[in-house]
Amino acid sequence: MESQQRSPLLEVKGNIELKRPLVKAHSRLPLLGSSFKRGRDQMEDILEPEKKRTRGLGTASKFAASQPRAPVRTTVPHAQGQTAAPKLPKKTGLRCSTAVATVLKNQKPGPAAPAQKPGTAAAPPKLEGKKPSKRPAWDLKGQLCDLNAELKCCREKTRTLDQENQQLRDQLREAQQQAMDLGTERRTLEGELSRVRAQAEQGQQELENLSAHVLELEERLSTQESLVEELQKEQLGLQEERRGLATRLEEQERRLQASEAALSGSQAEVASLRKEAAAQVALLAERGERLHWLEMERRRLHNQLQELKGNIRVFCRVRPVLPGEPTPPPGFLLFPSGPGGPSDPSTHLSLFRSDERRGTLSGVPAAPTRYDFSFDRVFPPGSGQDEVFEEIAMLVQSALDGYPVCIFAYGQTGSGKTFTMEGGPGGDPQVEGLIPRALRHLFSVAQELSSQGWTYSFVASYVEIYNETVRDLLATGTRKGQGGDCEIRRVGPGSEELTVTNARYVPVSCEKEVEALLHLARQNRAVARTAQNERSSRSHSVFQLQISGEHAGRGLQCGAPLNLVDLAGSERLDPGLALGPGERERLRETQAINSSLSTLGLVIMALSNKESHVPYRNSKLTYLLQNSLGGSAKMLMFVNISPLEENASESLNSLRFASKVNQCVIGTAQANRK
């Protein structure tokens, strides 16, 4: 655009200096007739400045005049068959023509442009008309006429090129319109192609379905054809025998009558079978009622049997002598046979104790004193865990029937209480304690009762009471070993059911879950070294299992807790013993243990004497277990004693406490049913 806007005068001057042909540009020369319309005076006024400027050119003008004059050529661009014609400017004044004449005055004709080689772009068209001869430098008017003639030719060519350009633009617009129409048509065809493809896919799917259906029909057709062939063969045979069968028509009719009679008999038999099935359903329902009544009767008789044995029972268990312990003297403990002979389980225990402070006048030691005790059952040192559990299995069954059950393990430190309740280490099935065996028995019986329509759920908790503080033995994480946030509260206003706040209540359904809880509780329980045991339990541990049963078909519900309590060791205090800081802590623990055990004895006595006030709240242990100690509960106490003579004093205290409990009688138990 910058080259197109330059004036012809500058282009001519540049061509002279650079010795190159003049490039076509928009001419600003006036039209041919315009210069003649002006007067002569105006022409002289216009030419006067140009003359003065020509005189001042000096050596530059002479140098420019000495150079050969290049012919004026026009360049027309060609692009793909289209010719772009430059637009010619409108008329300008004569001043521009005078300047051109001044430059051309000193310009000489130059050599012709070299011929174009074949195969190259076509040369621009030459200007029409005869080439003017060289005019004198003073003939400005003639030079102007020549330029006007050339300008006229250029304009004619420009008009021709403009027309061609317009035609090409029209063709371009038509081509673009056709392209747009073709694009629209292409999109339409693509949409139709998509629809046709979808229809083709649908048709292909239908064709596959029809093909499958045709195959199926062909198979059926082949079957029908074979059947038709067989029928045709049979028809031919029947047609052949038709005449012979005519005589046998009556016989066939008689057979038909016989078949109808048989059908009537079958229908009567079906009706009879339906009646029998209805009778069986009624009998089954009656037997279900009978089974339910028998289950209720079993529970009643089972409870009656437990009441005959006593709602408060006491078992005595003597642990065996452990390796490294001294062998007790013969006759220290005796287990007299029962009323039925040696085969009858023992219920009596005799302990012989010699007092060195007593003696005769002759200086001979006095004979040992004999102490006789009677309990509901006595287990000698050779009794195994299975034998012990077999005796309490029916009591555990009462918890499943809806009666609160509480089982204690009482005795001095090292007498085998924890072994009786939880079992020995190592996971040996032979030494499993009462807790895992009781839960296994409950799971098994609950599975059997599920066939009668009963469903049971079990929720376990395990806490310890240490120095009158309740701790959660199932706590994990940061709450492990902290008991200040556990308190005994009632479930709700007006409710008699108790719960321990901030304690974990874990639903259990199998033995492995119970084993995991027991393992966690062993790690969290408070123990310490005492004079009687290297690792003594210094707290009461209470394992509670809340049992809930429901018979959806009859709308029956029952629920009761099973409490398995491992009491802390019951040792007497020695007031004359000098105590250090550690011994003072053991002393406080022993005082708290003995206080809670004394409260337990007072509660049992108050229940036995039917007193109006029972001091449950005097101890956290009795307050937590109050719903399992009253008249609607069943209670069993294991008194564990040591077989060593050195522990005879503590063993006597334990046996005397157990004898007092054994003499108590609590009223008739009632099941918690809804």
Least confident of 535-539, 625-629, 659-663: 535-539
What per-residue confidence (pLDDT) applies to 34? Answer: 42
- Rounded to whole angstroms, how far apart are CA atoms 633 and 635? 7
Dist CA 380 CA 351 (whole Å): 13
> Above 70 in pLDDT, residue 529?
no
Q: Residue 57 pLDDT more than 50?
A: no
pLDDT at 135: 79
Nearest CA-CA partner of 356 in 645, 59, 93: 645
Report the C-alpha gap between 453 and 551 in whole angstroms: 6
Ranked by mean pLDDT, the top range of 63-72, 120-129, 436-445, 550-559 is: 436-445
Tell me if 395 sits within 8 A of 636, measured CB to CB. Answer: yes
**Residue of 9 and 207 predicted with greater confidence:** 207
Residue 100: predicted pLDDT: 39
For residue 424, pLDDT beyond 60: yes
Secondary structure tally for the chain: helices H, strands E: 14, 20
Predicted confidence (pLDDT) at residue 227 exceeds the cutoff of 70: yes
Q: Residue 126, CB half-sphere, CA atoms under 13 Å: how many?
A: 7
Give the residue, 172 or 328, on which the prediction is more confident.
Answer: 172
Q: How far apart are CA 451 and CA 446, in angstroms?
A: 9
Residues of the chain with pLDDT > 90, as a percent, come to 31
Specify the pLDDT at position 440.
Answer: 92
Rounded distance between C-alpha atoms, residue 621 and residue 469, angstroms: 10
What long-range pairs does 108-117 form, CB within 8 A, spacing at least 24? 108/65, 108/66, 108/67, 108/68, 108/69, 109/68, 109/69, 109/71, 109/134, 110/19, 110/67, 110/68, 110/69, 110/70, 110/71, 111/68, 112/71, 113/21, 113/71, 113/73
Please provide the size of the chain in residues. Answer: 674
Distance, in Å, from the CA atom of 470 to the CA atom of 489, rounded to the nearest integer, reads: 12
According to the model, what pLDDT value does residue 237 have? 82
Structure letter (DSSP) for residue 71? P
Residue 606 CB-half CA count within 13 A: 17
Q: Where is pLDDT greater, at 434 or 425? A: 434
414 to each of 33, 60, 408, how far by Cα in Å?
144, 137, 16
306 pLDDT band (50/70/90 cuts)? low
Average pLDDT over residues 663-667: 70
In the prediction, which pLDDT does 327 show? Answer: 87
- Mean pLDDT is highest, among 244-253, 294-303, 382-391, 482-491, for 382-391
Residue 183 vs residue 553, higher pLDDT: 183
Geometric angle at alpha carbon 454, from 452 and 459, rounded to 5°: 150
463 pLDDT more than 90 = yes
Average pLDDT over the chain, rounded to an integer: 76
Token pair recorded at residue 423: 């079992």
pLDDT for 228-256, tens place per residue? 999 998 888 878 877 787 788 888 888 89
H or E element: which one contains 562?
Answer: strand 556-566
What band does 179 get if pLDDT is binned at 50, 70 and 90? very high
Q: pLDDT tens digit string along 349-371?
A: 988 887 655 554 555 566 778 88
Closest to 415 in 3D by CA, of 589, 528, 568? 568
Q: How confident is the model at residue 526 (pLDDT cuts 50, 70, 90)?
A: low
Whether residue 158 is predicted with pLDDT greater than 50 in this model: the reply is: yes
Highest mean pLDDT: which of 158-162, 587-591, 648-652?
Answer: 158-162
Contact 79, 18 (CB under 8 A): no
pLDDT confidence of residue 562: 93
- Sequence-distant (6+) residues with CB within 8 A of 457 are 507, 547, 548
Q: Which pTM was predicted?
A: 0.56
For the residues 45-72, what does the mean pLDDT come to? 43
Look up tokens 């198979």; give the residue.
219
- Average pLDDT of the segment spanning 527-548: 70
Name the helix (H) or strand (E) containing 455. strand 454-466
Written as six digits, the tokens of 348 are: 């009596």
Q: Whole-angstrom Cα distance, residue 460 to residue 369?
A: 46
Q: Residue written as tokens 């079957």?
A: 223
Sequence-distant (6+) residues with CB within 8 A of 396 are 405, 438, 441, 442, 562
Residues 87 and 84: their CA atoms lie apart, in Å, by: 9
Query: Which residue would you say has higher pLDDT here, 511 or 76?
Result: 511
User: Is it the case that residue 129 has pLDDT exceeding 70?
Assistant: no
Instruction: Please name which of 74, 64, 54, 57 lies closest in space to residue 19, comparing C-alpha atoms.
Output: 64
CA angle 431, 435, 437 (to 5 degrees): 60
Q: Please measure the distance between the N-terminal and C-terminal CA atoms of the chain and give it in whole angstroms.
A: 108
State mean pLDDT over 115-129. Answer: 43
Average pLDDT of the residues in 387-406: 89
| Mean pLDDT across 97-124 | 42
* Other Cβ atoms within 10 Å of 552 Cβ, number: 10
pLDDT at 71 over 60: no
Q: What integer pLDDT is reported at residue 582 of this predicted model?
A: 60
In 85-227 the beta strands, taken as DSSP E runs, fall at 108-109
Q: Using the 8-state DSSP alphabet, how is residue 546 labeled?
A: E
The answer to whether the CB of 562 falls within 8 A of the CB of 545 is: yes
Which residues, other chains included, contact 359 with Cβ-Cβ below 8 Å and sequence gap of 6+?
365, 366
